[in-house]
Structure 1
Amino acid sequence: MAPAVFPVETSSHIPEATTVVVIGAGIVGLTAALTLAERGIPVVVLEKGRLAGEQSSRNLGWVRKMGRAPADVPMAVAADRLWAEMPARTGMDVGYRQAGIMYLARTEAEMAMHAGWLKAVDALGLDARLLTAGEIDALVPRGRGTWAGGIVTPSDGRAEPGLAASAIARAAIAKGATIIENCAVRTLSLSAGKVSGVMTEQGEIRCDQVLLAGGLWSRRFLGNLGVSLPTLPLVCSVLRTAPMEGPGEIAVGGPDFSFRKRLDGGYTITQRGALNAPIQLDHLLIGMRYLPTLRAQRQFLRIKIGRDFLRDLALPRRWGPAGPSPFDRVRTMDPPTDPGLNAEAMKNLCAAWPEFDAAKIVETWAGTMDITPDSTPVIDRVGRIPGLTVASGFSGHGFGTGPAAGQLAADLVTEANPLIAPDPYRLSRF
């Protein structure tokens, strides 16, 4: 089960026409809708399941610049500003706190990686700096870990996934957007090769532009249209604790655990050094594109072959507007939690900060991320289908940059001056 999401009263009325249809009510699609509504542009958001039911409510809530590819840093910087403006923009505290993020290193080789990243982003004006073991103890006290050092970015922070998407959705609705849940978009309507609408399970909606922000489902949607978006799934298991004192406000990523303070006083925890990789047909179709990443990060992947392969194989890859589509069949991707990974996370964390021995675990969940070969999203117009823009493949980073990614997507849809240069996110790079 996914964590609880702050409730939003959405619409059940399917309009005949609008200007922009957004497919997917995650944080990126919702921010795009809010941006469009603020500009007075009619917009309808269609969600096959429930608002923020997948990765937008299941992520860790980190808002970071640290560790990002240099070309991706400007979007993360823009997201910081937009997160800080979110309470005024939405009228709701979404839990955004610039309390800092720290990465820990056990070895000199890991410290060299952090130093290499700092050198690569030196010209970007970030406040990241390397740490000694003593500085780690001062910033996050009462630890017993043996560290070669670490790196910290004080201006990084966190927000609450269970609040943020809902707040953005409510603000978008208040400004004129329509959001409809439990309404799968099956395909596009095209006239003379251009977008003229979308075909949903409840009928057609005419529109001029479509933004596809469907997360892990975007590859399958585009594939049915003859467009290739290379993404593969990885599954992260997460747990949260009851409110507790804890070692402080800084979010900490160790080699094999992570924790961050929550607005409710508890902590969100995961095994940062391992992700489940459920093998699917797409691994056979596009897996070669991931070989460089696999060679560099194979120690993080727990490859699993089983029911996931059969479930995926049972979903169609080609369908017509009459359906049924995969999106009719699977309203919410709800992978099972891996108790072993969560147990590893707690064991490793308690060895480093023993006060977590007293933590009471009150909830666990898992979420599926859509990973591109370079772990960078696609935010771009689809050249072969005029009127279609895609914002997907966020590779586990979508929540933190969501406000900026959604605004950039809205800029591309409307051909406005882009928030940042969109070149790193071109689909053509694949």
Structure 2
Amino acid sequence: MNRISTTAAIIGGGLIGCASALFLRRMGIETLIIERGNCGACASGVNFGGVRRQGRARAQLPLAMRAHEIWSELPAWIGTDGEYMRSGHLKLARSLSDLQALADYRDRVSDFDLGLQILEGAAFRRRYPEFGPGVIGGSLCPEDGQANPRLVAPAFARAAQSLGARLLAHTRIMEAAPRAGGFALRTEQGTCIHADFVVNAAGAWGHDIARLFDEDLPQTPGYPTMAVTEPLPCLLGVSLGVEGGGFYARQVERGNVVMGGGFGESVDHDLRARPGRAPMQRIAEQAGEILPALRHAHLIRFWSGVEGYTPDKQPYLGPSTKHSGLIHAFGFSGAGFQISPAAGEAVAQLLAHGSAPLLDAAFSPGRHTTAATNAKS
């Protein structure tokens, strides 16, 4: 029987897991990544690619600001810029109540240096004449942007490996239990792994891994539907969102417009996902309403992925309340791409030092259990 011993075992080779591995190796901590498929092949590699701070819950902004610093130095960290650009993120308003919600958000987060600008009326139309008449304004975060997840996610894995992290790809964890001085894991292939620490970074399947440790961390799968057009002339200079959600878009340097909205459906018991028919139609309709120049564009591909959504849309990011040495880092609820580098750094700090200064109590893995207990008392 094959046996492996390591200081840190990370279950999940997506962005969170590989960023955690990268920071752990930079601290000199022995690290093993265990991935059921290929690193970055799930949500980390097929997401929309928005790199935004605007719109995040206040509790996430300290991490988002730290991640913003890391993104600006991405080649030094992972050897590529991942097509990252600070194009700006524009959140559109289609009603006066939308505009008020955007202004209220700006005021609530004014102590963070987001530089939010509320644009409306003639000033908005002069600056952004490309939008349809139903768009009346928006909130611009000038230094937010976009990147190519298909490049970024695998690059984090390669960077961690280049510093000495070991990888077990196409390896599924079947059993996990605390043992004296650490944890015992068993893979589908029968390999036994002893780890002093375990990081649960299994993304949409993080709740399944938590159950192996007898922890119930609620999470629901979601399957975002996305599409891409043929290459087009430059028509969109910012990464785009809409107040209230439902549509997002960005144009890459090659001219293709990537867009999304709505949810698809599960395939193979949540191992894969496919786009939904209704969301595909709605994406096309909204694209034409918001950006009339897209009305006759050819959509060349639709796709979906599997994301994990927690009840309050906050991630589980912190130490287990049951097992010392177990750290949960999943449930980013469709908003993990931008924040991943800082989340990985926080995981490494927790493991190495027992604390991470940027983590908020809102991320505590035990928060739902605590709330249920308080409700009964």
- Same-fold status (TM-score > 0.5): yes
Q: Partner residue of 1:113? A: 101
Question: Which segment is superposed worse, 119-128 or 135-144?
Answer: 135-144
Shift of 1:73: 0.9
Q: Partner residue of 2:372? A: none
Match of 1:182 among 167, 170, 188: 170
Shift of 1:142: 2.5
Match of 2:251 among 248, 254, 261: 261
| Aligned residue type for 2:16 | V
- Name the SS for the 1:102 alignment partner: strand
Q: Partner residue of 2:157? A: 169
**Is the 2:263–2:276 contact (alpha carbons within 8 Å) kept by the matching residues of 1?**
no
**Is the 2:321–2:365 contact (alpha carbons within 8 Å) kept by the matching residues of 1?**
no
CA distance in 2, matches of 1:234, 1:126: 29
RMSD of aligned alpha carbons? 2.0
Shift of 1:263: 4.5
| Aligned residue type for 1:55 | A
Match of 2:140 among 136, 152, 169: 152
Confirm whether residue 367 of structure 1 aligns to residue 305 of structure 2: yes
**Is the 2:177–2:212 contact (alpha carbons within 8 Å) kept by the matching residues of 1?**
no
**Is the 1:380–1:389 contact (alpha carbons within 8 Å) kept by the matching residues of 2?**
yes
Q: Partner residue of 2:115? A: 127
CA distance in 2, matches of 1:248, 1:134: 19
**Is the 1:335–1:366 contact (alpha carbons within 8 Å) kept by the matching residues of 2?**
yes
Task: Quote the sequence identity (%).
Answer: 27
Structure 2: runs of 5+ lacking an equivalent: 369-377
Structure 1: runs of 5+ lacking an equivalent: 1-13, 279-306, 313-329
Q: Partner residue of 2:185? A: 198
Aligned residues: 364
Structure 1 residues 139 and 346, CA gap change in structure 2 (3 angstroms):
farther
Structure 1 residues 139 and 173, CA gap change in structure 2 (3 angstroms):
farther
- Name the SS for the 2:150 alignment partner: helix
Q: Partner residue of 1:7? A: none
CA distance in 1, matches of 2:127, 2:16: 33
**Is the 2:7–2:29 contact (alpha carbons within 8 Å) kept by the matching residues of 1?**
yes
- Name the SS for the 1:151 alignment partner: strand
Confirm whether residue 210 of structure 1 aligns to residue 148 of structure 2: no
Structure 1 residues 264 and 246, CA gap change in structure 2 (3 angstroms):
closer
Shift of 1:417: 5.6
Q: Partner residue of 2:51? A: 63
Q: Partner residue of 1:52? A: 40
Match of 1:382 among 320, 345, 356: 320
Match of 1:270 among 257, 260, 265: 260
CA distance in 1, matches of 2:234, 2:118: 23
Per-residue CA deviations over 1:188-246 (Å, capped at 9, x if unaligned) read 24224x53332112311121111010011111221232211111122210011232223
| Aligned residue type for 1:349 | A
Q: Tell me the TM-score normalised to structure 1 length.
A: 0.80
Q: Partner residue of 2:348? A: 410
Q: Partner residue of 1:34? A: 22
Q: Which runs of 4+ in 1 moved over 6 A?
A: none
Match of 1:400 among 319, 322, 338: 338
Per-residue CA deviations over 1:15-54 (Å, capped at 9, x if unaligned) read 6211111000100000001111122111110111122221
Q: Which protein has the bigger strand share? A: 2
Structure 1 residues 386 and 133, CA gap change in structure 2 (3 angstroms):
same
Question: Which segment is superposed worse, 392-401 or 52-61?
Answer: 52-61
CA distance in 1, matches of 2:30, 2:254: 36
| Aligned residue type for 1:342 | M
Confirm whether residue 88 of structure 1 aligns to residue 79 of structure 2: no
Structure 1 residues 415 and 197, CA gap change in structure 2 (3 angstroms):
farther
Shift of 1:345: 1.0
- Name the SS for the 1:400 alignment partner: coil
